[in-house]
């Protein structure tokens, strides 16, 4: 039976990845800080789909707790076939007024932690000659958007290289780049629903984002940009000057 490990699994896209992978029959390892939320999700998925669900509560910014997750990924006796790097958070775009320690934690979680978990997973995946890694980035990675866009750009670039490097050895790596998606991500930044300044037509449903990204990963795509409208935006911004793309990147919070 395939086992998938998902970070940031207690809510939002992480919980949706857990639900869709469980529906496909995958056993799960759910990782997040909120153990109670993970246990509730695990119970519902076990009941609904009859899969095995392991709860691994960990703050990925704390080295000892992160090491538990790395060890789980690297354990050849309990192979993880799919890694979904989804944990993350956002900050206001005004870098100059943000607390610099919050910015450092933001960088560490999106870049360093993702890199460490990918590294831990790759060893046993390559030894088996199979595996799949999905790195949840953002369409913001194609736009100048303060440090959030910069972090996501790193994840996209690394995923593109890694997919080329490791696909011949049986392991695919896909950067998932959704646009604005209905989850609790913006609420955790202190914004009420509907207060982000984004037109309704630009919002995506988490179920559609996850379903399309899983299809793209199964095809071995280096980058998945769910929805035609965001695919078009990705292509368009490549031809626009920084002054315009930075303005576009500054929309919403």
Tokens of 159: 């995923």
pLDDT tens string 50-65: 999 999 999 999 999 9
Mean pLDDT lowest among 1-5, 36-40, 230-234, 236-240: 236-240
Tokens of 174: 């896909």
What average pLDDT does this structure show over 127-138? 98
- How far apart are alpha carbons 5 and 73 in whole angstroms? 8
- How far apart are alpha carbons 129 and 219 in whole angstroms? 16
Tokens of 120: 């831990």
Rama region for 179: left / alpha / beta (φ>0; ψ in -120 to 50; rest): beta
**DSSP element (H, E) containing 109:** none
Would you say residue 230 has pLDDT above 90?
A: no
| Domain segments of the chain as ranges | 3-249
pLDDT at 150: 96
Would you say residue 129 has pLDDT above 50?
A: yes
Angle between the N-to-C axes of helices 12-23 and 35-49, in degrees from 0 to 180, rounded to the nearest 10: 20
- How far apart are alpha carbons 57 and 62 in whole angstroms? 12
118 contacts 173 by C-beta, under 8 angstroms:
yes
Would you say residue 102 has pLDDT above 80?
A: yes
pLDDT at 247: 65
Q: What is the CATH number of domain 3-249?
A: 3.40.50.720
What is the distance between the terminal CA atoms of the chain, rounded to a whole angstrom? 40
Would you say residue 145 has pLDDT above 50?
A: yes
4 contacts 83 by C-beta, under 8 angstroms:
yes
pLDDT at 197: 59
| SS3 category, 236 | helix
Say what the alpha-carbon torsion angle 241, 189, 151, 54 is, to the nearest 10 degrees: -140
What average pLDDT does this structure show over 101-106? 98
Q: What is the pTM of this model?
A: 0.90
Q: What is the mean pLDDT of the chain?
A: 91
Residue from 38, 24, 12, 32 nearest 81 by CA: 24
Residues 17, 148, 166, 230: which is the catalytic one?
A: 148
Angstrom distances, CA of residue 204 to CA of 10, 72, 207: 20, 32, 9
Would you say residue 30 has pLDDT above 60?
A: yes
pLDDT tens string 165-210: 999 999 999 999 998 998 865 444 444 444 455 778 778 999 999 9
Assess whether 148 carries a catalytic annotation.
yes
């Amino acid at each position: 039976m395939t086992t998938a490990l998902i970070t940031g699994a207690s809510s939002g896209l992480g919980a949706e990845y857990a639900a869709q992978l469980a529906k496909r029959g995958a056993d799960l390892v759910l990782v997040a800080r909120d153990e109670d939320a993970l246990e509730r999700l695990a119970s519902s998925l076990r009941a609904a789909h009859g899969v095995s669900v392991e709860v691994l509560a960990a703050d990925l910014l704390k080295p000892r707790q992160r090491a538990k997750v790395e060890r789980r990924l690297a354990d050849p006796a309990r192979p993880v076939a799919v890694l979904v790097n989804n944990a993350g958070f956002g900050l206001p775009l005004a870098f100059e007024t943000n607390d610099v320690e919050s910015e450092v934690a933001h960088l560490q979680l999106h870049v360093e932690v993702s890199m460490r978990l990918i590294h831990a997973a790759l060893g046993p995946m390559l030894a088996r000659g199979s595996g799949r890694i999905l790195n949840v980035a953002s369409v913001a990675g194609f736009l100048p958007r303060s440090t959030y866009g910069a972090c996501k750009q790193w994840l996209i670039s690394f995923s593109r290289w890694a997919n080329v490097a490791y696909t011949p050895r049986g392991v695919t790596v896909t950067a998932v780049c959704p646009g604005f998606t209905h989850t609790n991500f913006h609420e955790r930044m202190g914004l009420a629903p509907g207060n982000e300044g984004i037109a309704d037509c630009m919002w995506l449903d988490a179920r559609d984002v996850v379903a399309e990204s899983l299809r793209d990963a199964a095809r071995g795509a280096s980058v998945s940009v769910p929805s035609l409208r965001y695919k078009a935006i990705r292509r368009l911004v490549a031809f626009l000057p920084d002054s315009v793309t930075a303005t576009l990147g500054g929309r919403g919070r």
